[in-house]
């Protein structure tokens, strides 16, 4: 079996969080453990696919922001082969220049198996949270998956159920093979090498880590409800003047109003902190030292920050929706809606009652079974072997 994995969007965006974190964690293991991974990119200016050197891919994964590939060999993707050929799309390919409906049809005509990883159905279920072009591109991509895919991985049963509900009845074909594979919560040692020691961190970060802070890790965007957490913090700060709020994440789309409020806030940089350039090692320290973590997302396919937080045995407050109870189990704290007063109440309870706080931390340490990226890779590898080849 030969697996072709397109990282064109990963290379274009050079993002290291969310979907791109998943691609990175899979590739680090696949290249190390397998000899059948062909990492490819689409060169839109030449209208060709190019094959990357796996040794260079490893270097790229170590330095996503800066590494430039030196050798890109033209690839005839559609050449005949006696081996089983698998085109595995696990990147954010709906916005790719090479449209999947046309590509998948051609791949199927050349005896490819098509495998996808779908993380969530946000563009279809919550179209107001994405750009218009993303909504349109995702619809076309999803139609391609329903029509041509042989196997689809999902990061939660919640995402799989959403996929099933959206499948159009007019597509007359056999059932698609489907598999839920939970994402990991650990940061790989490769990524931690960026900054492995606390004494190598900037003085600003080290000072902040000594404070009592609420942590929120996510791209700033309306779906994540950082505005509600800010409102809750403003109320909490009156009663708990030593408390800090740390927001970690880049500024996303359609968040200009909140970004302006945040940047002009009188407590900004004294008690409210926004960090948009934090590497994995630094993020691990921030999880380790947090008083508690909030993650008020309106919808998630999985919710990486939830499992990352719980792995560090943090009290983690989330909205009760989508996949949250699936990944947070009984170790996360749930609120039914994004009312900041409810968030104030639950955080105040932990601030006012150290015994309740410590008991909850102890419970999480004893009962949360953190998913790991090695298992994620193994589950995908085994499923590809047993499902695609047969």
pLDDT tens track for 236-246: 999 999 999 99
For each of the domains in the chain, give its residue range(s) and CATH number, in order of start.
2-184+373-388 (3.40.50.2000), 195-367 (3.40.50.2000)
Q: How confident is the model at residue 192 (pLDDT cuts 50, 70, 90)?
A: very low
pLDDT at 170 over 80: no
Mean pLDDT, residues 366-389 taken together: 92
> Two tokens at 260?
């302006």
**pTM of the predicted model as reported, rounded to 2 decimal places:** 0.93
pLDDT greater at residue 77 or residue 173: 77
Mean pLDDT of the chain: 92
> Two tokens at 275?
């960090």
Mean pLDDT, residues 215-240 taken together: 96
- Distance, in Å, from the CA atom of 68 to the CA atom of 362, rounded to the nearest integer, reads 46
- Edge to edge, what strands does the sheet with 333-335 contain? 272-275, 243-248, 212-217, 292-295, 316-319, 333-335
Q: How confident is the model at residue 173 (pLDDT cuts 50, 70, 90)?
A: low
Q: Please spell the DSSP secondary structure of 313-380, one letter per residue.
A: T--EEEES-TTHHHHHGGGSEEESS--HHHHHHHHHHHHH-HHHHHHHHHHHHHH-----HHHHHHHH
């Amino acid at each position: 079996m030969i697996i072709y994995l397109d990282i064109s969007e990963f290379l274009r965006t050079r993002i290291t969080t969310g979907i791109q974190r998943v691609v990175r964690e899979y590739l680090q293991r696949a290249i190390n453990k397998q000899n059948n991974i062909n990492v490819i990119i689409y060169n839109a200016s030449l209208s060709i696919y190019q094959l990357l050197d796996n040794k260079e891919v490893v270097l790229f994964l170590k330095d996503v922001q800066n590494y430039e590939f030196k050798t890109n060999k033209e690839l005839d993707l559609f050449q005949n082969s006696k081996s089983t050929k698998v085109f595995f799309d696990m990147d954010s390919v709906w916005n790719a220049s090479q449209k999947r409906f046309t590509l998948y049809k051609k791949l199927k005509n050349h005896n490819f198996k098509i495998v996808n990883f779908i993380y969530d159905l946000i563009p279809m279920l919550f179209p107001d949270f994405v750009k218009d072009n993303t909504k349109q591109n995702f619809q076309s991509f999803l139609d391609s998956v329903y029509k041509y895919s042989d196997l689809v991985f999902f990061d939660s049963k919640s995402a799989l159920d959403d996929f099933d509900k959206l499948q159009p009845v007019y597509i007359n074909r056999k059932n698609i093979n489907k598999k839920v594979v939970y994402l990991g919560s650990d940061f790989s040692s490769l990524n931690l090498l960026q900054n492995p020691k606390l004494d190598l961190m900037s003085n600003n970060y080290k000072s902040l880590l000594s404070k009592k802070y609420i942590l929120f890790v996510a791209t700033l965007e309306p779906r994540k409800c950082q505005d509600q957490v800010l409102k809750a913090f403003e109320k909490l700060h009156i009663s708990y003047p030593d408390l800090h709020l740390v927001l970690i994440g880049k500024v996303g789309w359609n968040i200009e109003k909140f970004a302006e409020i945040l940047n002009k806030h009188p407590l900004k940089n004294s008690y409210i902190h926004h960090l948009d350039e934090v590497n994995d090692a630094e993020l691990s320290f921030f999880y380790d030292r947090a008083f508690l973590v909030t993650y008020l997302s309106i919808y998630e396919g999985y919710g990486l920050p939830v499992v990352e937080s719980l792995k560090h045995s943090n009290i983690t407050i989330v909205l009760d929706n989508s996949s949250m109870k699936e990944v947070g189990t009984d170790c996360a704290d749930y609120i039914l809606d994004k009312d900041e007063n409810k968030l104030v109440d639950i955080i105040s309870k932990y601030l006012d009652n150290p015994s309740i706080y410590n008991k909850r931390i102890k419970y999480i340490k004893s009962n949360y079974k953190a998913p790991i990226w090695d298992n994620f890779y193994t589950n995908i590898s085994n499923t590809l072997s047993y499902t695609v080849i047969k």
